[in-house]
Amino acid sequence: MESILIQVTGVDNPGITAELMGILGKAKARMLNIQQVVVGKTLSLSLQVSLADQTHPVLKDLLFKAHELGVHLDFQMLDESIEEKSEGLQRYALTLLASELRPEALHQVTSVLAKHNWNIDTISSLGERPVSCLELVLSADPSTLDAVKSELVSLVGDSGVDFAIQEEGLLRRAKRLVVLDMDSTLIQQEIIDELAALHGVKDKVSEITHRAMNGELDFEQSLRARVGLLKGAPESVFTEVRSQIELTEGARRFCRVLKRLGYKLAVISGGFIEVVGPIAHELGLDYHFANRLEVQEGVLTGKLVGPIVGPQRKADLVDSLAQQEGIDLSQVIAIGDGANDLPMLALAGLGIAFNAKPAVQKEASTAINQRSLVSVLYLLGLRGEEVLELEKKL
């Protein structure tokens, strides 16, 4: 069946859409699609309709009314062959983040999309603070997804633009659980490095930490080696370290907004419960897991108590929390920066390497290199003004 694409542009004023809909209603037109955007004071309205009565002078009536309203109206006939081209295509949401999104960066991104015949359906600005963000909804052949991701990774790294590609649909907007790593993700420091500094062994511990986070060392062995260097430190170091902890920029705001929206929040850390617990409580997190250091007579023994929270246990805890909350893993967001976070990032519906080590960014499906955790909210489709409005109610 033929359909009609009607496009209206001009200075926006109240009542334009209502007047045009009144004419279409009298003509018994069937609405197939509609998109309306106002940028500044300029209206862009697109309508796809079909007519039961092909003899009705609806187009003449629309053109006359558009002239009367001071807007420009154009139309074209569409046939089934155009509709058939969309069959077999998948819709994706491409989120672009940068301190400033410049035309040259958008040229690079859209050139990659065009090369692989990805069609841009809509472009929306989600906000300008704390980062600039655009969301592109795209139609594409799923078989080209890996190639597009690979090319975007190679170009956006040099331009300072981060991106995330997600299937556009209900599940993207139905996330319910956010799981975060603690060290260098929720907080700016590495807890064990801070403990080591107070005990005078920071250089030795930092070297092992760096190699472990880059995946060069087995996590459990490296952890036991670092903990062994803490032997003899007084229990009071926990209090001293907690007083020195700095949250990642936007962390408190990130947690408050998500809690208000009904999300469950958890931290799963390879750090230590003696420091992680109070921070999780302060931020109102629902769950927290970390390693426990053995203390005897007020002194650290250099040993661990209980199961090690390493890479596989992190993933197992994500799976367990999802089951406990009665949600699918596709509804989980996991955020981390180290090699020990990769299993849980891979398991979650959306796994984000946040300011991560190069080896981790290479393996993760999504990498964000912005300073503020609030930037992650854009990946959920939230708009900057929505976040600000919500914060006023907190």
* Nearest one of 371, 390, 383, 389 to 125, comparing CA atoms: 383
Report the distance separating Cα 127 and Cα 67, nearest Å.
Answer: 35
Task: Kindly write down the DSSP assignment for every residue of 244-268, as one continuous string.
Answer: H--BPTTHHHHHHHHHHTT-EEEEE
Q: Are 255 and 286 in contact (CB under 8 A)?
A: no
* Nearest one of 185, 157, 180 to 264, comparing CA atoms: 180
Using the 8-state DSSP alphabet, how is residue 187 labeled?
Answer: B
Report the distance separating Cα 269 and Cα 385, nearest Å.
Answer: 32
Count the neighbouring beta carbons within 10 Å of the beta carbon of residue 262. Answer: 7
Count the neighbouring beta carbons within 10 Å of the beta carbon of residue 248. Answer: 21
For 164, the enclosing helix (H) or strand (E) is: strand 162-167
For 205, counting Cβ atoms within 10 Å of its Cβ (0-12 exposed, 13-18 middle, 19+ buried), the class is buried
* Nearest one of 360, 357, 358, 376 to 368, comparing CA atoms: 376
Q: Is 53 among the residues known to form the active site?
A: no
Q: Provide the 3-class DSSP secondary structure of residue 132.
A: strand
Q: Return the amino acid letter for 20.
A: L
Query: Position of tokens 């009314």?
Result: 65
Question: At a CB cut-off of 8 Å and minimum separation 6, what does 115 contact?
Answer: 151
Count the neighbouring beta carbons within 10 Å of the beta carbon of residue 370. Answer: 22
| Sign of the alpha-carbon torsion through 110, 114, 117, 123 | positive
For 67, the enclosing helix (H) or strand (E) is: helix 58-69
Which one of 53, 121, 146, 183 is the catalytic residue? Answer: 183
Q: Is 183 among the residues known to form the active site?
A: yes
Taking every pair of Cα atoms in the chain, the longest distance, rounded to a whole number of angstroms, is 93
CA–chain centroid gap for 204, Å, is 36
Residues classed as catalytic: 181, 183
